[in-house]
Structure 1
């Protein structure tokens, strides 16, 4: 595990977090004496106090996501995302994935940017266990994106936000002056052929414009890509894609299993994503980061 950069901050006192030299136990400490030990899997849980009121992904949801992504169904989109970020950032950027999940998308981005210093944040310890194993060079931190992020001002070149909550003010604070935010959201046609079959939530219209509007105080839109293609999904794939997202919290699993048992072969299914690249807006005079 590499030493933590000074850009990491203690969530209690906001002092710089550092790790001891090589050979010492994996731990993060700050000048104020606060200490965070790494979990056996290699991630750090920085959440303190009452934790968070938001529901983290469960072990079942994370396993479904691992299995679905491992089949390569979202790799075309991940490659588009990696190309978009690589073209807009320095050769050796610091990349923060806010809502990193299992680290899949961050992993594809860092394949394009092998010199990147990567930080993965997610609220689910089950997801971060996977991310820490998949990305041994990254700093993997359990954290609630709605709290002040445990990174210093102007310490990041790019923020990834893939199907995750967006804290625009905090993203802007941690980004350098010319930093970028890459947001991936599903389009209305995404998985349209199986939404009823799998009991999944519908995707609202005008999602792109809502994202832009929510970010406009802190970011200016720079580029938008639409990535759409056809997938061939087995019954197991459909089960995994239903169970890996928000729909999993209200799904009738028996009904889902019954519906999938009637399938006789792979189902052609649309994948449709919006990839929006935003550039950090100029800060008001006197509002330094």
Structure 2
């Protein structure tokens, strides 16, 4: 991975080749710091190096905010979720060509995958431009594009060798469409006991989440493996705040006494850090 001095470079050529115009679906080409299609639609690269392909507003509370992104970046930099990043790198180490991270956030996990897969190039998709400012700088073989994952993606058919999905919306038909035959889908999700000691400061995970995941993807994918990562971790009060403020609960901290309880923390907390990593092959 590289430091935050990146960001002004153009998108990697293989990323540009995979992207499509979000207005008409035509192929894009890079002209200096602008992506253009044959129908004269154009998209300028932001100063930080990502491109925004959205042409409609998104509902409030959909994209991660600047405070949420800052909390996530600091929390992940502490190494608290490094075992998950290492497992994703191991699973995707043989990936070549294009790896798409659907819901990439700051690019932390995709950057680890690219470190483990030296022949791969990454495309980070996320609805939060704030998050992609960081993702665009996370790795020299990474390009970032703002997009709503629930909409048809501005990506060509069958161009990805792997799709990565970490705590993010799962659009099974689009996973299937952009993956090449036999391509790898890797989904990481919190287990039901993840951060359970924090109670309602974090969202509850459905006990049947894995079953629902397999059902949702069953028409397009065959599951090939599932790994559990579980350990006890001691989090400082600051890390606890970051873990809460980086997730969906951040939108609801002012309900009840959540914020007051979070602010009252002064001692380290021992919590369960628990994830499942599921792998699927495209049918």
TM-score by length of 1: 0.89
Q: Does 1:13 align with 2:31?
A: no
- Decide whether aligned partners of structure 1 residues 256 and 81 sit closer, same or farther in structure 2, where only a CA change above 3 A counts: same
Provide the secondary structure at the position in 1 that maps to 2:19.
coil
Runs of at least 5 residues in structure 2 that lack an aligned partner in the other structure: 1-9
State the superposition RMSD in angstroms: 1.6
> How far did 1:268 drift?
1.2
Q: Quick one: which of 135, 138, 147 aligns to 2:139?
A: 135
Secondary structure at 2:71 match in 1:
helix
Unaligned runs of 5+ in 1: 282-289
CA distance, structure 2, for counterparts of residue 218 and residue 258 of structure 1 = 45
Verify: 1:66 aligned to 2:73, yes or no.
yes
Does 1:233 find its partner at 2:240? no
With over 3 angstroms needed to count, the CA separation of the structure-2 counterparts of 1:60 and 1:32, relative to structure 1, is: same
Give the 5 Å matches for 1:49-198: 50-53=56-59, 55-86=62-93, 89-90=94-95, 92-196=96-200
The worse-fitting range, judged by mean Cα deviation, of 250-259 and 119-128 is: 250-259
Q: Distance in 1 between matches of 2:157 and 2:69?
A: 31
CA contact (8 A) 1:239 1:256 kept: no
Number of residue pairs matched by the alignment: 271
Q: In 2, are the aligned partners of 1:200 and 1:251 still within 8 Å (CA)?
A: no
Query: Deviations along 1:101-130, whole A, 9 cap, x unmatched?
Result: 000000111110122111000000100001
Q: Deviations over 1:192-215 (max 9, x none)?
A: 11124xx22211101111111111
Return the TM-score normalized by structure 2.
0.91
- Deviation of the 1:258 alpha carbon: 3.7
| Partners of 1:132 and 1:140 within 8 A in 2 | yes
